[in-house]
Amino acid sequence: MFKRFIALEWKQFSRSSYFQKGIAIKILLALGALYFIGMAAFMGVAGYFGIQKFMPDKDPITVVNNFVIYWFLADMVFRYFLQQLPVLNIKPYMVIPIKRSTVIHFLLGKTSVSFFNFLPMFFFLPFSITSLVNGDYAVINVVAWFFSMLFFTLSINYLNFLLNKNNKVFYGILTVLVAAGLLQYYQVYSITEPAGYFFNTIYEKPYAVIIPLLLMVMLYRFNFKFVRKDFYLDGAISKETKEVHTQELTWLNRFGKVAPFLKNDVRMIIRNKRPKQVLFMSFLFLFYGLIFYPQESYQDMPAFLAFASMFVTGGFLMSFGQLVPSWDSEYYKLLMSQNIPYREYLKSKWSLMVVAVVISFILSTPYIYFGWDIFGMIAAGALFNMGLNSFITLYGGVLNQVPMELNVKAKAFSNTQGFNPTQLLIALPKIFGPMLIFYLPYKFINFETGIICLAVSGVLGLAFTNFFLNQIEKVYQKQKYKTIAAFSEKK
């Protein structure tokens, strides 16, 4: 039966619009994956000799065990934000004689076939082999240690599934991590020592490998029970119907032809958790500069100050804009069938992002405390966001053909619908562009010239607004039917 499932999954993937989308993007992502795999393998080999060189009086495996807890914590965070959990359209299977347990086991098995599960192997396996070849270690101990690392990695994989599906688990784990971080920061209690002792015990006593194995099995069973609980046609997969109250928002009529689209976006933000989350996170971006501006170490690295200045006013642009047009995926087909100019739809999204940047800039006024140079950089970053980053973000929407369901029960801070790795590539020019535009004039002339060049680049972008919108409209029109087909698919 699993063979049949795999065949059906391959047909669904190969026939979908995602298979046809952006071969260049796929190549870049593949090269990125190979790069990280190569770096992990290199660090696995070089790590052993590096520890021997810089810590000759310590055992390399013991050193890794003392700090491997941070590896797993970072792995959990990266998985939460980047790992796309596999889904399965279960309705067709529920009306034919297939055991529910079989379908659930296949769904959970798909989570194990992930880049995030293979990457640690390319670190721990070379490290283990290097340790056996160059060190005086018992084979059984090293093998047991390697498999324990593998079991912990899979345990995090299944824990990530629960984090993305269960609010109670998410907030519980978040509370524990925040508490541990605060205790570590204020030097009340350090998790490094007990964690190191635990992992060293697993290495010294090979039979202790049963602990991570049991943890993996336990988390797998939790996932199985969690999915099975709502595995009914009239359960969690049924659509929820509830009464909503409409808002007229007549004050937006002053914006003319783009007013209907702006009203749709404002209503969406008011009614749904995910857009509210984006709005809240955009507010938090205002405090991003506090990480850089007070630190003396960054005063000699002004390119990073330009990076921070762009983020202070670009929170909403980055978080909301990167999900255009996925916000409208549920009614995109209806929207595109109306007798309305595509240009007005795009202009409404652009206008919303620009207004958000202006509001963020006004709220960033207290940064004058750090000096007029810093505030001038924030102003230049705001102009760059309005004049260039807004168009780059809008253009990136062509490559974002992942649907988003806003009307289902979903968690607020852990909803990653509509996200795909392609967005990371689109984010590169938005992040490094302003840094480069500022740094080159700063390096060859002075600080003020760098700010002026950054601001002028944004002003030029605003001057060519019609040109950029025309070019973006052509690309959206070309991809219109592919986007409609992608949004119609069940991911």
Using one digit for the tens of pLDDT, what is the confidence trace for 114-153? 788 888 888 888 888 988 888 778 889 999 999 999 999 9
Q: What is the pLDDT of residue 187?
A: 77
Exposed e or buried b per residue across 116-155, where buried means at least 16 C-beta atoms within 10 angstroms of its C-beta: bbebbbbbbbbbbebbbeeeebeeebbebbbbbbbbbbbb
- Are the C-beta atoms of 192 and 69 separated by less than 8 Å? yes
- Dihedral sign for Cα atoms in the order 209, 211, 214, 220: negative
Q: Determine the Cα–Cα distance for residues 266 and 246; give it in Å rounded to an integer.
A: 11
* Assigned token pair, 308: 């921070």
Give me the amino acid identity at 354: V
Q: Determine the Cα–Cα distance for residues 348 and 450; give it in Å rounded to an integer.
A: 31
Alpha carbon dihedral 101, 103, 109, 111, in 10-degree steps, equals -120
Q: Determine the Cα–Cα distance for residues 333 and 346; give it in Å rounded to an integer.
A: 15
DSSP 236-291: TTSPP---------GGGGGGGGGHHHHHHHHHHHHH-HHHHHHHHHHHHHTTGGGG
pTM: 0.60
- Are the C-beta atoms of 314 and 360 separated by less than 8 Å? yes
Residue 266: pLDDT band (50, 70, 90) is: confident
Q: What is the pLDDT of residue 409?
A: 45
* Assigned token pair, 93: 């299977």
Closest to 166 measured CA to CA, from 118, 116, 229: 229
- Are the C-beta atoms of 206 and 144 separated by less than 8 Å? yes
Does an H or E element contain 112, and which? helix 100-112
* Assigned token pair, 467: 């040109």
Residue 28: pLDDT band (50, 70, 90) is: low
- Are the C-beta atoms of 399 and 426 separated by less than 8 Å? yes
- Token look-up 């955009």 returns 282
Average pLDDT rounded to a whole number, residues 218-237 = 75
- Token look-up 């970072």 returns 74
Helix axes of 372-384 and 302-313: crossing angle, nearest 10 degrees: 60
Q: What is the pLDDT of residue 206?
A: 87
34 alpha carbon, distance to own chain's centre:
19
Q: Determine the Cα–Cα distance for residues 317 and 349; give it in Å rounded to an integer.
A: 10
List Cβ neighbours of 350 (8 Å cut-off, separation of 6 or more). 390, 391, 394, 465, 469
pLDDT tens digit sequence for 322-358: 778 877 777 778 777 777 777 888 888 888 888 889 9
Q: What is the pLDDT of residue 411?
A: 43
- Token look-up 């062509």 returns 398
List Cβ neighbours of 426 (8 Å cut-off, separation of 6 or more). 322, 392, 393, 395, 396, 399
* Assigned token pair, 329: 């995926």
CB atoms within 10 A of CB 384: 30
Q: Determine the Cα–Cα distance for residues 220 and 485; give it in Å rounded to an integer.
A: 34
Tell me the H-state helices in 166-258: 167-185, 192-204, 210-229
- Token look-up 């949004």 returns 487
Q: Determine the Cα–Cα distance for residues 434 and 334; give it in Å rounded to an integer.
A: 38
Range name among 1-10, 35-44, 65-74, 345-354 with the lowest pLDDT average: 1-10
Helix axes of 100-112 and 2-15: crossing angle, nearest 10 degrees: 60
User: Structural domain boundaries of the chain?
Assistant: 22-229, 251-488
Average pLDDT rounded to a whole number, residues 249-269 = 74
Q: What are the respective helix, strand and coil percentages of the chain, to the nearest 5?
A: 80, 0, 20
Residue 418: pLDDT band (50, 70, 90) is: very low
pLDDT at 210 over 90: yes
pLDDT tens digit sequence for 430-478: 778 888 888 888 888 888 888 888 889 889 989 998 898 888 888 888 8
